[in-house]
Structure 1
Amino acid sequence: MILNGLSGIPTFFKRGEEEVKMSPEAVVIKKTGWYTVYFMTCDPELDGTTIRGRTVWKNRGGYLQGDKAPLMKFYASMLLAYVVLGLLWFPQVAQYWKDGIQLHSHISLVIVFTMGELAFLYFDFAYLDSAGTSPMEVTVWAITLSSMRKALSRLLLLVISSGYGIVRPTLGGITLRMLLIGVLCFVISESLGLAMQFGNFSENGMTFLMLSWAILETCFIQLIFRSLWKTLKKLKLNKRNIAKLQLYKKFATMLVTMMVLNFAWFYVQVYVYNSLSEFWQVKWMIPTLWYSLSYALLVLICLFWPPSEKPMRYLYVADMEEEAEEDDLSVAETGMNVTKAEDGDVERYERKTLLEAFIILLGNLPGER
Structure 2
Amino acid sequence: MDSGESRSMNFYFLALLSSLLFSPSTTFASIHIYHHQPFSEIGNAYLLSAGSEAIFSPSSSSTHLSYIRFENITFWRSKTANKHNAGPIHVIIFEASDRNNIGGSAYGGQRAICCTSDLAKMGGCNQGDIIRRPSETDTNWPLILDVHFKGKRLATTLDSKQVSITKTGMYNLFFVACDPKLKDLVMSGKTIWKNPDGYLPGRMAPLKKFYVFMTLAYLCLAVIWFLQYVRFWNDVLQLQHCITAVIGLGLFEMILWYFEYVNFNDTGIRPVLVTTWVVTIGAVRKTISRLLILSVSMGYGVVRPTLGGLTSKVLLLGLTYFLASELLDITEYVGTINDVSGRARLLLVLPDAFLDAFLILWIFTSLSSTLEQLQAKRSSIKLDIYRKFSNALAATVIASVAWIGYEVYFKATDPFNERWQSAWIITAFWDILAFALLCVICYLWAPSQSSQRYAYSEVGEDSDDEESQSLTKEGRGEVSLVKQEKNGRNDASFDEEDESEEDKRE
- The reply to whether TM is greater than 0.5 is yes
- 1-side partners of 2:462 and 2:188: how far apart? 73
Provide the secondary structure at the position in 2 that maps to 1:27. strand
Give deviations 1:241-265, integer Å, cap 9, x for gaps.
Answer: 1111111111111110111011111
* Residue number among 158, 181, 184 corresponding to 2:294 in the alignment: 158
Q: Which residue of 2 aligns with 1:364?
A: none
- 2-side partners of 1:147 and 1:264: how far apart? 23
Q: Which residue of 1 aligns with 2:237?
A: 101
Provide the secondary structure at the position in 2 that maps to 1:36. strand
Provide the secondary structure at the position in 2 that maps to 1:176. helix
Q: Which residue of 1 aligns with 2:422?
A: 282
Q: Which residue of 1 aligns with 2:431?
A: 291
Tell me, yes or no, if structure 1 residue 312 matches structure 2 residue 452.
yes
Q: Which residue of 2 aligns with 1:233?
A: 372
Q: Which residue of 2 aligns with 1:339?
A: none
- 1-side partners of 2:289 and 2:412: how far apart? 27
Equivalence map 1:30-109=2 (5 Å): 30-109=166-245
Same amino acid, percent of matched pairs: 37
CA-CA distance at 1:323 after TM superposition: 7.9
Q: Which residue of 2 aligns with 1:224?
A: 363
Q: Which residue of 1 aligns with 2:476?
A: none
CA-CA distance at 1:320 after TM superposition: 4.1
* Contact persistence 2:377–2:462 (CA under 8 A): no
Pick which of 15-24 and 187-196 moved more. Answer: 15-24
* Contact persistence 2:302–2:456 (CA under 8 A): yes
Q: Which residue of 2 aligns with 1:354?
A: none
Counterpart AA for 1:312:
Q
- 1-side partners of 2:284 and 2:155: how far apart? 47
Q: Which residue of 2 aligns with 1:209?
A: 348
- 2-side partners of 1:158 and 1:251: how far apart? 12
Q: Which runs of 5+ in 2 are unaligned?
A: 1-90, 95-140, 465-506
* Contact persistence 1:124–1:135 (CA under 8 A): yes
* Contact persistence 1:273–1:283 (CA under 8 A): no
CA-CA distance at 1:143 after TM superposition: 0.9
Q: Which residue of 1 aligns with 2:93?
A: 3
- 2-side partners of 1:232 and 1:117: how far apart? 34
Residue 310 to residue 296, structure 1, CA distance change in 2 (3 Å): same
Counterpart AA for 2:234:
K
* Contact persistence 2:214–2:254 (CA under 8 A): yes
Pick which of 228-237 and 20-29 moved more. Answer: 20-29
Residue 134 to residue 272, structure 1, CA distance change in 2 (3 Å): closer
- 2-side partners of 1:293 and 1:7: how far apart? 43
- 1-side partners of 2:267 and 2:332: how far apart? 21
Q: Which residue of 1 aligns with 2:56?
A: none
* Residue number among 436, 443, 447 corresponding to 1:303 in the alignment: 443
Residue 107 to residue 274, structure 1, CA distance change in 2 (3 Å): farther
Q: Which runs of 5+ in 1 are unaligned?
A: 325-369
- 2-side partners of 1:54 and 1:258: how far apart? 44
* Contact persistence 1:67–1:280 (CA under 8 A): yes
Counterpart AA for 2:360:
I
- 2-side partners of 1:142 and 1:284: how far apart? 18
Provide the secondary structure at the position in 1 that maps to 2:291. helix
Residue 87 to residue 274, structure 1, CA distance change in 2 (3 Å): farther
Greater share of helix: 1
CA-CA distance at 1:295 after TM superposition: 0.9
Q: Which residue of 1 aligns with 2:399?
A: 261
- 1-side partners of 2:189 and 2:202: how far apart? 22
* Contact persistence 1:273–1:279 (CA under 8 A): no
- 2-side partners of 1:65 and 1:37: how far apart? 14
Pick which of 87-96 and 194-203 moved more. Answer: 194-203
Counterpart AA for 1:250:
K
Give deviations 1:16-67, integer Å, cap 9, x for gaps.
Answer: 2112222221111221111110101132211121122232111122111111
Greater share of strand: 2
- 1-side partners of 2:340 and 2:205: how far apart? 26
Q: Which residue of 1 aligns with 2:387?
A: 249
CA-CA distance at 1:322 after TM superposition: 7.7
* Residue number among 303, 309, 312 corresponding to 1:167 in the alignment: 303
Tell me, yes or no, if structure 1 residue 178 matches structure 2 residue 314.
yes
Provide the secondary structure at the position in 1 that maps to 2:158. coil
CA-CA distance at 1:310 after TM superposition: 2.2
Pick which of 146-155 and 130-139 moved more. Answer: 130-139
Provide the secondary structure at the position in 2 that maps to 1:21. strand
- 1-side partners of 2:460 and 2:205: how far apart? 53
Give deviations 1:182-205, integer Å, cap 9, x for gaps.
Answer: 111111111111112223545443
CA-CA distance at 1:95 after TM superposition: 2.5
* Contact persistence 1:63–1:132 (CA under 8 A): yes
Provide the secondary structure at the position in 2 that maps to 1:306. coil
